[in-house]
Structure 1
Amino acid sequence: MKYLFATAAMIAFAGPACAQEILLKPVAEARLRYEHADQAGLPIDTSDAVTARVRTGAMASSGALSATVVGQGTLSILDRRYDGLNGAATRPLIADPENVALYIAQLQYRSKALTLTGGRQKIALDDERFVGNVAFRDNGQTYDAARLELVPAKGLKIDIAYAWSARTIWGFQGRGARQQAVSGDNIFANLSYATPVGTLTGFAYLVDQDEAAVQGYRLSSQTYGARLAGALPISRIAKISYQLSHARQSDYHRNPNDYRADYWLADATLDVKGWKLNAGYEVLGADRGAALTSFQTPLGTNFKFQGWADKFLTTPANGVRDLYAGGGYGWKRWGPLTGVSLLATWHRFDSDRLDQHYGNEWNLLASAKAGKTMLSARYAHYDAKAFATDTEKLWLQADWTL
C-alpha cells in the first residue's frame, strides 16, 4: 500500500509529462566472477565460487517522468563454499547466493530543482558509509522507498527518503538473521551546501530494523552527524581531496540496548600526474563493550571500508579504529585497454577501548576497461592478532554494461 500511495502521488504530480513522446531505453548488465577465500580456524579452510549475474530491464521516459523496471538473476557455476544460506558453515563465507529478483521498480519525476522517486530503488548517500547499494555483492541492496531531492537554491540540496523495506543481498532464499528483506520505518535525511572549501552535509539516519530475527532489533539506531568533502588544486598537475566526518549514534525504536557511540573519519588523497596517494583514520566507537553497543552500519556499503577481507562488517563490541595508507598509479590507455589502474592499501586495526591490536590487512587491486567490459583482480590478506583469524581472499571479475 505504501508503494501504491507513493506511486499515485508522483503520477498526479507529473501528469502533464504523460502527453509527451515516450522514449524507451534498455538496461542490461552482466557479471562473471571467481572468488576464493582461505580462512584459518575452520574445519574446511577454503571456499571457491564462480558466479554469473545478469540484470535486464528498461526505462521508459516522457518529459520529466520516467518508469524503470530491472530484474536480476544470480547463478552459481562453481559452488564449493558456504554462501550464508546454503552449504556448510564450517567453511569460509562467499556471500553471493543464487537469486532471481525484481531489482528496480521505480517511478521518477525529475526537473532541475526537484526529483521524486517512488518504489524499489537504489539509494547511495555520500560515500555510502551509512546508507548504500552494496554494489560489490552480486545481489546488491535496494530499498522500497519514497525519496525527495530538492535544490531550492544554488549549492543547497535537501535529500529525504522514507524506506519501509531494505532488500538485502541474500535474495529470495533469505531467512533468519539473513532475510530477503528487512522491514521498518527508516528515514534518511541529508542537508548539504556547497561551500568554497567543499560540500558540507548534515545528516540524520533513523535505521529501523524491525525484524526480531535480525539480532533481536539490536541493529536499530539513530545517527546524527556532519561531513565535509572537497578538493583543492595545489598546482597544474596536482590536487588534494579530503573528507572529514563525525557522527553520534544511539539506540532507536525497539532496540533493547541503551548505548551511545561516536564515529570519526579523516581522509586525504593526493593526485599527482597519474599517481594517487591516500591516507586516513576511521573510528567506529564503542560504548561499554557489550555486543552491538558499538557504532553499527547495517545499511552501509561496508565492503568499501575497513578492508576487503570483511572482518568488520559487524563492528566488534569494543569498536574498531582503522589507520590506513595506500597508493597507486593509473594510465588513461595501455594498448587496447583504458582506465588502467594499480592500487595497494595497508590497514592497521585496533579496538576503540581496551587497547587491543586486532590485526593488519593488505588490499591490492588491478583494474582496466576493455570496450564496455570492466576487468578487475583483487586480493586481500588479513593477518590476525587479537581478533578473528588469518584470512586471504582473491577475486577475478568481469563486468559488462550496455
Structure 2
Amino acid sequence: MKMMLTPLTARNGQKNQKSLLVFAIGSVLASAATPVLSMTFTEALTGGKVSLDVRYRYEFVDQDNPLDQAHASTVRTRLGYRTGDFKGFEVFAEAEDVSAVGNENYNSTINGITDHSVVADPTETEVNQIYVRYKGFSDTSLTYGRQRFALDNHRFIGTVGWRQNEQTFDAFVGTNESLPDTKITAGYLYNANRVFSDASPNGNFPMQSPIFNAQYHGLAAGTLTTYGYLFDFTN
C-alpha cells in the first residue's frame, strides 16, 4: 500500500512537521498490515528447508543363555525436505538409513545372525516419513500420510525412539489448539511401521484404530488428559 505525501510549506512551522510524521507512521503501519502474497506452487517446491540428523548408537547385550554377546555399533542418518507453504499446504518427505560400523555382531532379526543376542536395529534404508499437511484453518493442522506420531508418555502410541529405526504411523491426524490451554488431537491410524523395518515380515502392523486425545495445561498441578484409543487389529 502506497501513500503520497505532498510537500509542506515552512509557513506552518512545527505543525507541518508533526503532520508529516503522522502521515509517515500511517504509511508504515498500512504497509505492515498488507498481507504477504502466498508462494506460487513452484516457489513452495523449491523454497523449502532441508533437514539432516545423524545419530551413532552402541548397544551391548550379555544374556545368561547359550547365545553369543551382541555388539551393535550403528549410525542412523535421516535426510528430509519440507516444502514451503502453498495455500496452507506443505509436504514433508524423509529418508532414513541405518548402517553398521564394523561387523554386525548381533541379531537384528533380519540379518540371519541367530547365534547372537537380539538388538533390533536392522541395517536398512527406507522412507521414514512422507505426508501432506494443511494449516489453513486457525490453530488447526491436518496431516495425512506416514508420520512421526506420539501421545502422552508414549505408552500406547509412540515412536520407540531409543531404536535406530523409529516407529511411525500411516494415519490421518488433526490437532486443534483454539481453546485456552487446550490441545485436542483426533485421527485414524491404519498402519504402524515398526522398528524391524519394511524388510521384515513383522515390519508393518495393519490396524483400524480411531483415536482421540484432549489435554488441558491450565492447572498448576499438571496436565489433565482424557483419551480414547480404539485399537482394532488382528495379530
* Paired residue type of 1:99: E
| Equivalent position of 2:128 in the other structure | 103
- Contact 1:191–1:201 (8 Å) recurs in 2: yes
| Equivalent position of 1:208 in the other structure | 232
Distance (whole Å) between structure 2 residues aligned to residue 160 and residue 18 of structure 1 = 29
Distance (whole Å) between structure 2 residues aligned to residue 112 and residue 31 of structure 1 = 36
Shift of 1:90: 4.0
Distance (whole Å) between structure 2 residues aligned to residue 189 and residue 145 of structure 1 = 13
| Equivalent position of 1:181 in the other structure | 204
Distance (whole Å) between structure 1 residues aligned to residue 204 and residue 38 of structure 2 = 33
* Paired residue type of 1:158: I
* Paired residue type of 2:172: A
* Paired residue type of 2:99: L
| Equivalent position of 2:108 in the other structure | 83
Is 1:124 aligned with 2:147? no
Distance (whole Å) between structure 1 residues aligned to residue 203 and residue 232 of structure 2 = 16
Deviations 1:209-238 (A, max 9, x none): 33xxxxxx2xxxxxxxxxxxxxxxxxxxxx
Distance (whole Å) between structure 1 residues aligned to residue 232 and residue 54 of structure 2 = 33
Shift of 1:160: 0.6
Distance (whole Å) between structure 2 residues aligned to residue 163 and residue 17 of structure 1 = 32
* Paired residue type of 1:52: V
Shift of 1:46: 0.7
Shift of 1:61: 1.8
Distance (whole Å) between structure 1 residues aligned to residue 163 and residue 178 of structure 2 = 36
| Equivalent position of 1:59 in the other structure | 82
Deviations 1:154-188 (A, max 9, x none): 1222201211111111113211xxx1211110222
Distance (whole Å) between structure 1 residues aligned to residue 196 and residue 173 of structure 2 = 24
Q: How does 1:349-368 map to 2 (within 5 A)?
A: none
Could you say which structure has the higher strand fraction? 1
Distance (whole Å) between structure 2 residues aligned to residue 191 and residue 183 of structure 1 = 25
| Equivalent position of 1:30 in the other structure | 54
Q: TM-score, normalised by structure 1?
A: 0.45
Of 191, 194, 200 in structure 1, the residue corresponding to residue 214 of structure 2 is 191
- Contact 1:81–1:87 (8 Å) recurs in 2: no
Q: How does 1:364-383 map to 2 (within 5 A)?
A: none
| Structure 1 segments unaligned to the other structure (5+ residues) | 1-15, 211-216, 218-402
Count how many residue pairs are aligned between Structure 1 and Structure 2. Answer: 192
Shift of 1:109: 1.9
- Return closer, same or farther for 1:18/1:164 CA change in 2, 3 Å cut-off: farther
Q: Pairwise CA RMSD of aligned residues? A: 2.0
The percentage of aligned residue pairs carrying the same residue is 27
| Equivalent position of 2:163 in the other structure | 137
* Paired residue type of 1:116: L
Could you say which structure has the higher helix fraction? 2
* Paired residue type of 2:139: A
Of 37, 44, 48 in structure 1, the residue corresponding to residue 71 of structure 2 is 48
Q: TM-score, normalised by structure 2?
A: 0.75
Distance (whole Å) between structure 1 residues aligned to residue 50 and residue 126 of structure 2 = 18
Distance (whole Å) between structure 2 residues aligned to residue 122 and residue 191 of structure 1 = 19
Distance (whole Å) between structure 1 residues aligned to residue 94 and residue 57 of structure 2 = 21
* Paired residue type of 2:227: F
Is 1:148 aligned with 2:180? no
- Contact 1:30–1:52 (8 Å) recurs in 2: yes
- Contact 1:185–1:207 (8 Å) recurs in 2: yes
Deviations 1:260-313 (A, max 9, x none): xxxxxxxxxxxxxxxxxxxxxxxxxxxxxxxxxxxxxxxxxxxxxxxxxxxxxx
| Structure 2 segments unaligned to the other structure (5+ residues) | 1-36
| Equivalent position of 1:296 in the other structure | none
